[in-house]
Amino acid sequence: MASSCCKRPSIIAIFAVLLLLAAASPVLSASAANSSTLRSGEELLKYRRRIRAHIKRLNKPSLKTIKSPDGDFIDCVPSHLQPAFDHPKLIGQKPLDPPERPKGSIQTAAVNDTFQAWMLTGESCPEGTVPIRRTTEEDILRATSILKFGRKPAARVRRDSRSSGHEHAVGYVTGDQYYGAKASLNVWAPRVTSPSEFSLSQIWVISGSFGHDLNTIEAGWQISPQLYGDTNPRFFTYWTTDAYRETGCYNLLCSGFVQTNNKIAIGAAISPKSTYNDGQFDISLLVWKLQKVNQNW
């Protein structure tokens, strides 16, 4: 997957509230209440330990850390230590060189030096590393569970716009064999009204029957307060091989997606954004299948 951007004009501790309710009758003793409180406290500590263990798996040792103006920390992680290589089939391997673009594909623009907010610092990740947005305890605590963190809920997926509770517009093509797709997406910052709400624009390459065999590769920008803790538009990727049931995740929050670019942090905020009746900003995305190498996308 390659990414580029262009712009016009050039602008640059978890809180647990334990409520001990007094009963109308003195049957509930103080010792029973204290025991209940103790169990809750122990469960909380166990959950916090599980969160820290999960964070340790995700946040790999880095050669350099960059503090982004939006509050993110971007870790420059050696390419062979990124989360993808925790996968049993990839342990001990190293990433290949960035693949050549498909024949006939024209790279219209290079990655802009300020494509993402963290680049405004003027810092960059050295060769041989990949920039990874650091996961925090707060990120995981916003999810309904550790298991569901960074994942879409399993649901029946439709390619049209008639899904209940999910308002969207789509354009799609079917009926042939396709080995890639490209899209340019205008970047905006639409307002979302609740932490669980999200908004996105993406390219979606799929195979399967929209049943349990659905495979997808997705990339674009999204606003998701629950996932990121703010309302900034952020560059994202997603993949699944079983209709979001057991496999796949956003960005690099699980093993599977191998990053080769040292200039783009997946999950980091995009800057600048389009403004109504003023400057416009877009990102161009290209997804293609490697026919001669390893059949990867």
Higher pLDDT, 8 or 229: 229
SS3 28: coil
Task: Report whether pLDDT(114) > 80.
Answer: no
pLDDT in tens, 29-74: 444 444 455 557 888 889 989 999 999 999 999 999 999 999 999 9
Higher pLDDT, 34 or 147: 147
86-90, 146-150, 160-164: the lowest-pLDDT one:
160-164
Averaging pLDDT over each range in 100-109, 119-128, 207-216, which range is the top one?
Answer: 119-128
**Confidence class of residue 28 from pLDDT cuts 50, 70 and 90?**
very low
CB–CB of 111/95 below 8 Å?
no
pLDDT at 123: 95
Q: CA end-to-end span of the chain, whole Å?
A: 7
pLDDT at 68: 97
| Alpha-carbon distances of 210 from 215, 216, 219, rounded to whole Å | 9, 10, 19
Domain range summary for the chain, segments of one domain joined by +: 2-10+33-288
pLDDT at 127: 94
Task: Report whether pLDDT(144) > 50.
Answer: yes
Place of tokens 């490697």: 290
pLDDT at 39: 54
pLDDT at 117: 94
| pTM for the full predicted model | 0.80
- Residues 206-234: what's their mean pLDDT? 91
DSSP H helical ranges for the chain: 30-58, 137-141, 225-228
pLDDT at 167: 76
Which contiguous run of DSSP H or E holds residue 70?
none
- Residues 251-257: what's their mean pLDDT? 92
| Alpha-carbon distances of 9 from 119, 167, 218, 275, 282, rounded to whole Å | 18, 31, 28, 11, 11
**Confidence class of residue 120 from pLDDT cuts 50, 70 and 90?**
very high
